[in-house]
Protein backbone atom coordinates (compact mmCIF):
# COMPACT_ATOMS: atom_id res chain seq x y z
CA UNK A 1 0.00 0.00 0.00
CA UNK A 2 1.30 3.44 -0.97
CA UNK A 3 1.10 6.27 1.52
CA UNK A 4 0.89 9.78 0.07
CA UNK A 5 1.67 12.93 1.94
CA UNK A 6 -0.61 15.94 2.13
CA UNK A 7 1.64 17.79 -0.35
CA UNK A 8 1.27 15.09 -3.00
CA UNK A 9 -2.51 14.94 -2.59
CA UNK A 10 -2.76 18.71 -2.86
CA UNK A 11 -0.71 18.71 -6.11
CA UNK A 12 -2.94 16.02 -7.62
CA UNK A 13 -6.08 17.99 -6.71
CA UNK A 14 -4.66 21.21 -8.21
CA UNK A 15 -3.63 19.35 -11.37
CA UNK A 16 -7.09 17.75 -11.74
CA UNK A 17 -8.81 21.10 -11.17
CA UNK A 18 -6.62 22.77 -13.81
CA UNK A 19 -7.28 19.99 -16.31
CA UNK A 20 -11.02 20.15 -15.81
CA UNK A 21 -11.31 23.92 -16.05
CA UNK A 22 -8.80 24.48 -18.89
CA UNK A 23 -11.22 23.30 -21.55
CA UNK A 24 -14.07 25.29 -20.07
CA UNK A 25 -12.33 28.67 -19.83
CA UNK A 26 -14.03 31.17 -22.06
CA UNK A 27 -13.49 34.90 -22.32
CA UNK A 28 -16.55 36.73 -21.04
CA UNK A 29 -16.14 39.62 -23.43
CA UNK A 30 -13.67 41.16 -25.89
CA UNK A 31 -12.48 43.68 -23.31
CA UNK A 32 -11.38 40.93 -20.93
CA UNK A 33 -9.55 39.15 -23.74
CA UNK A 34 -7.82 42.28 -25.03
CA UNK A 35 -6.73 43.26 -21.52
CA UNK A 36 -4.48 40.20 -21.59
CA UNK A 37 -3.16 41.12 -25.05
CA UNK A 38 -4.99 38.25 -26.69
CA UNK A 39 -6.16 38.89 -30.22
CA UNK A 40 -8.26 36.76 -32.52
CA UNK A 41 -6.17 35.32 -35.32
CA UNK A 42 -7.82 36.09 -38.61
CA UNK A 43 -6.81 33.31 -41.01
CA UNK A 44 -7.35 35.65 -43.97
CA UNK A 45 -5.23 38.47 -42.55
CA UNK A 46 -1.87 39.20 -44.13
CA UNK A 47 1.12 37.75 -42.26
CA UNK A 48 2.60 39.85 -39.49
CA UNK A 49 6.18 41.09 -39.65
CA UNK A 50 7.16 38.45 -37.09
CA UNK A 51 5.63 35.69 -39.21
CA UNK A 52 7.40 37.01 -42.31
CA UNK A 53 10.75 37.21 -40.54
CA UNK A 54 10.45 33.70 -39.12
CA UNK A 55 9.32 32.18 -42.41
CA UNK A 56 12.04 33.85 -44.50
CA UNK A 57 14.90 33.06 -42.10
CA UNK A 58 13.74 29.45 -41.77
CA UNK A 59 13.41 29.09 -45.54
CA UNK A 60 16.81 30.64 -46.28
CA UNK A 61 18.76 28.92 -43.51
CA UNK A 62 17.13 25.52 -43.06
CA UNK A 63 15.31 24.62 -46.26
CA UNK A 64 17.36 26.23 -49.02
CA UNK A 65 20.64 26.55 -47.07
CA UNK A 66 21.51 29.67 -49.03
CA UNK A 67 24.65 30.40 -47.04
CA UNK A 68 26.25 27.27 -48.54
CA UNK A 69 25.18 28.34 -52.08
CA UNK A 70 26.44 31.92 -51.86
CA UNK A 71 29.15 31.34 -54.46
CA UNK A 72 26.38 30.75 -57.04
CA UNK A 73 24.97 34.26 -56.55
CA UNK A 74 25.06 37.26 -58.86
CA UNK A 75 26.66 40.65 -58.24
CA UNK A 76 23.48 42.76 -58.51
CA UNK A 77 19.78 42.53 -57.86
CA UNK A 78 17.95 44.42 -60.65
CA UNK A 79 14.54 43.64 -59.11
CA UNK A 80 15.15 45.94 -56.11
CA UNK A 81 15.84 49.65 -55.85
CA UNK A 82 17.96 50.11 -52.74
CA UNK A 83 19.00 53.76 -53.04
CA UNK A 84 15.64 55.03 -51.77
CA UNK A 85 15.08 55.79 -48.07
CA UNK A 86 12.95 52.63 -48.06
CA UNK A 87 13.93 49.86 -50.52
CA UNK A 88 11.41 49.24 -53.32
CA UNK A 89 10.44 46.22 -55.36
CA UNK A 90 10.65 47.47 -58.95
CA UNK A 91 8.08 45.00 -60.28
CA UNK A 92 5.15 46.46 -58.31
CA UNK A 93 6.76 49.68 -56.95
CA UNK A 94 5.93 48.69 -53.37
CA UNK A 95 8.07 48.93 -50.24
CA UNK A 96 9.88 45.77 -49.25
CA UNK A 97 10.41 44.44 -45.76
CA UNK A 98 14.10 44.25 -44.80
CA UNK A 99 15.02 41.23 -42.67
CA UNK A 100 18.40 41.18 -40.96
CA UNK A 101 19.52 37.67 -40.08
CA UNK A 102 21.03 36.98 -36.68
CA UNK A 103 24.65 36.22 -37.29
CA UNK A 104 28.29 36.71 -36.69
CA UNK A 105 29.74 39.07 -34.10
CA UNK A 106 31.13 42.35 -35.49
CA UNK A 107 34.70 41.59 -34.42
CA UNK A 108 34.80 38.12 -35.97
CA UNK A 109 37.23 37.63 -38.85
CA UNK A 110 35.51 36.70 -42.12
CA UNK A 111 32.21 37.94 -40.73
CA UNK A 112 29.09 37.19 -42.78
CA UNK A 113 26.11 39.55 -43.03
CA UNK A 114 22.87 38.10 -44.37
CA UNK A 115 19.84 40.16 -45.32
CA UNK A 116 16.60 39.30 -47.05
CA UNK A 117 14.28 41.72 -48.84
CA UNK A 118 10.67 40.51 -48.84
CA UNK A 119 8.18 41.79 -51.45
CA UNK A 120 4.71 41.29 -49.89
CA UNK A 121 2.60 41.58 -53.04
CA UNK A 122 4.53 38.89 -54.87
CA UNK A 123 5.36 36.95 -51.70
CA UNK A 124 8.99 36.52 -52.73
CA UNK A 125 12.29 37.42 -51.12
CA UNK A 126 15.78 38.22 -52.35
CA UNK A 127 18.76 37.06 -50.32
CA UNK A 128 21.90 39.21 -49.94
CA UNK A 129 25.13 37.64 -48.68
CA UNK A 130 28.15 39.78 -47.82
CA UNK A 131 31.48 38.73 -46.32
CA UNK A 132 32.92 35.35 -45.55
CA UNK A 133 36.34 33.96 -46.33
CA UNK A 134 36.03 34.89 -50.04
CA UNK A 135 34.64 38.40 -49.27
CA UNK A 136 31.59 37.80 -51.43
CA UNK A 137 28.88 40.40 -52.05
CA UNK A 138 26.20 38.46 -53.92
CA UNK A 139 22.44 38.16 -54.40
CA UNK A 140 20.28 35.05 -54.73
CA UNK A 141 16.61 34.88 -55.58
CA UNK A 142 13.76 35.44 -55.99
CA UNK A 143 12.44 32.73 -53.71
CA UNK A 144 8.70 32.20 -53.31
CA UNK A 145 7.28 32.17 -49.79
CA UNK A 146 4.17 30.06 -49.34
CA UNK A 147 1.73 30.55 -46.50
CA UNK A 148 -0.28 27.63 -45.14
CA UNK A 149 -3.47 29.51 -44.55
CA UNK A 150 -7.04 28.29 -45.02
CA UNK A 151 -8.77 29.41 -48.18
- What percentage of the chain reaches a pLDDT higher than 70? 72
CA–CA separation, 39 and 145 (whole Å): 25
| pTM for the model | 0.69
So what's the pLDDT on residue 8?
Answer: 64
Chain centroid, CA 71 distance in Å: 25
Cα–Cα nearest to 144, from 124, 128, 126: 124
DSSP secondary structure of 98-118:
EEEPP---TTSTT-EEEEEEE
Nearest 5°: the CA angle 124, 129, 132 is 160
Is 78 a member of any domain?
yes
Residue 11 has pLDDT above 50, yes or no: yes
Is 150 a member of any domain?
no
Helix (H, G, I), strand (E, B) or coil at 85: coil
Tell me the torsion sign for CA atoms 38, 41, 42, 48: positive
Per the structure, the count of domains in the chain is 1
Is 94 a member of any domain?
yes
For residue 106, give its domain range.
49-144
Is 26 a member of any domain?
no
pLDDT digits (tens, 9 = 90+) for 16-68: 666 655 555 555 566 655 665 555 566 677 788 898 999 999 999 999 999 99
So what's the pLDDT on residue 139?
Answer: 96
Residue 133 has pLDDT above 80, yes or no: yes
Is 37 a member of any domain?
no
Is 95 a member of any domain?
yes
Is 134 a member of any domain?
yes
Amino acid sequence: MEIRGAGMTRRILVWALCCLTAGCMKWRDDHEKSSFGMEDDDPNAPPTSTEIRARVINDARNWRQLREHASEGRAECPELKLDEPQPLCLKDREKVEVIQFPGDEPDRPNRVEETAYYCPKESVYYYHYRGGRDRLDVWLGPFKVTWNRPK
